[in-house]
């Protein structure tokens, strides 16, 4: 249901950095929430650990940008949603760490697409230059995420089969 991002709202590199920092922070928060959910409500500690590591990675990414001076106010450049907020419906209580990194990889990919579109759309040279740098940065993140994913054990085909399902023997 997400609308297309409103790139015109960004008029300076300071604003762009503020937005990127916010994106990274909200991703960190979301990954942390997932880590807690996996730990508290379904005892999936490995995946919880993966999300916790992802959250810490996003913390580091956020710290690369200066904290905005003053409140962001109504600055909402990406329309409806922050692209790096993980889609709640995209997780499964039996998912493996491999899935967690795969999910993160997809989100880095979405972010990359956003920055690419920003570089194309903006008419402000400084913003365009920074957007292109961000594209390169995201490519690096994606490579790193792919590496992290690929060192995880590959989930078996029947990874989502539950011998003790939440509502036992689904009738279909």
Give the interface with other proteins as residue ranges (CB under 8 A): 1-3, 33-34, 36-38, 40-42, 44, 47, 76, 80-82, 85, 87-93, 95, 166-172
Q: What's the rounded Cα separation, in Å, for the pair 22 and 24?
A: 5
Least distance between other proteins and beta carbon 167 (Å): 4
Q: What's the rounded Cα separation, in Å, for the pair 112 and 135?
A: 6
19 phi and psi, to 5 degrees?
Answer: -65, -45
Listed in sequence order, the residues at least 6 apart from 26 whose beta carbon sits closer than 8 Å to its beta carbon are 82, 84, 85
Nearer to other proteins, 16 or 35 (CB): 35
Least distance between other proteins and beta carbon 20 (Å): 17
Q: What's the rounded Cα separation, in Å, for the pair 48 and 51?
A: 5
Nearer to other proteins, 35 or 119 (CB): 35
Least distance between other proteins and beta carbon 33 (Å): 6
Q: What's the rounded Cα separation, in Å, for the pair 46 and 146?
A: 18
Nearer to other proteins, 3 or 153 (CB): 3
Nearer to other proteins, 125 or 166 (CB): 166
């Amino acid at each position: 249901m997400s609308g297309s991002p409103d790139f015109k709202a960004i008029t300076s590199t300071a604003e762009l950095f503020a937005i990127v920092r916010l994106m990274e922070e909200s991703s960190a928060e979301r990954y942390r929430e997932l880590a807690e959910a996996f730990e508290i409500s379904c005892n999936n500690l490995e995946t919880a650990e993966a999300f916790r590591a992802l959250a810490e990675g996003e913390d580091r990414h956020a710290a690369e940008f200066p904290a905005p001076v003053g409140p962001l106010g109504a600055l909402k450049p990406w329309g409806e949603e922050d692209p790096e907020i993980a889609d709640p419906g995209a997780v499964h209580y039996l998912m493996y760490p491999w899935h967690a990194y795969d999910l993160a990889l997809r989100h880095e990919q979405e972010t990359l697409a956003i920055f690419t579109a920003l570089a194309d759309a903006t008419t402000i040279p400084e913003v365009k230059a920074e957007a292109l740098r961000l594209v390169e940065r995201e490519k690096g993140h994606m490579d790193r995420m792919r590496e992290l994913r690929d060192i995880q054990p590959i989930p078996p085909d029947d990874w989502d089969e539950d011998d003790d399902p939440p509502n036992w023997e689904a009738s279909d």
